[in-house]
Amino acid sequence: MEYFLELGIAETLLVRMGMASLETAEARFHTVLELDPGNIEALNLLAQICAQTRRHSEARELLGRALDSAAGDRDLVVELVEALAGIYEKAGKYRLAVKTYRVGLGRIESAALHNGIAYCYAKLGHYRKAVSHSRRAVELEPGNAVYVNDLGYTLLEAGDLDGAKTVLERAVELDPDNELARGNLAYCLDLQSRGRALPGVPADH
């Protein structure tokens, strides 16, 4: 089994260099799953192949199986979800990324997953949902300056400059060296001084 798994991984790497086909790598991983249906690595890599070949429902089904096998290991669950969602985010397919994060959040409560889905909702212009998930991430990890900054910027995008200012000040307080948070706070203060919100905030903010 390990032999076929290693072959599949090697061929996946060769695909990136144009020296092998996804079909061959996929066949190797299916062989692994015939021998070990709960093999997390094979399920994860197959899910990514399906995502890259537009078989999105199959990708989420494979992810679900991988998460079932990883039950009890919260860090691994987050890692698996973020790996698949990241493929969609890089491709600008935020609706598919949202569906992927939902699979993970259906299994565990995670600040990282709430923060990830919030980012995708914001990209889609669904600011109420983005703020809701971003707030939940901060509730779960109130000392995480990255999540606090992300909430502040999401509030800024949603047009709530006063709320954004308060949250971004908190992010800078938590991590004074966080240049992104400091830059976002400066931007928020500039918008406030000019009495302006970000342009193009949709009706559902």
Write down the residue that tokens 């072959």 correspond to. 7
Beta-carbon contacts of residue 139 (< 8 Å; ≥ 6 apart): none
Residue that finishes a domain, picked among 87, 108, 129? 108
- Between 40-52 and 2-16, two packed helices, what is the crossing angle to 10 degrees? 30
Percentage of residues in the chain having pLDDT higher than 70: 86
Residue that finishes a domain, picked among 57, 77, 108? 108
pLDDT reported for residue 127: 96
Q: Is the pLDDT of residue 7 over 90?
A: no
pLDDT reported for residue 171: 98
pLDDT reported for residue 4: 42
Same domain membership, residue 145 and residue 76? no
pLDDT (mean) for 112-123:
98
Number of domains in the chain: 2
Task: Report the mean per-residue pLDDT for the chain.
Answer: 88
Distance CA 51, CA 57 (A): 9
pLDDT (mean) for 154-168:
96
Same domain membership, residue 83 and residue 40? yes
Give the CATH number, domain containing residue 94. Answer: 1.25.40.10
| 202 domain-assigned | no
Give residue-wise pLDDT tens across range 63-104: 999 999 999 899 999 999 999 999 999 999 999 999 999 999
* Enclosing domain of residue 66: 1-108
| 205 domain-assigned | no
Whole-structure pTM over 0.95, yes or no? no
Residue that finishes a domain, picked among 83, 108, 133? 108
Q: Is the pLDDT of residue 11 over 50?
A: no
Same domain membership, residue 121 and residue 97? no
| 124 domain-assigned | yes
Beta-carbon contacts of residue 82 (< 8 Å; ≥ 6 apart): 112, 113, 116
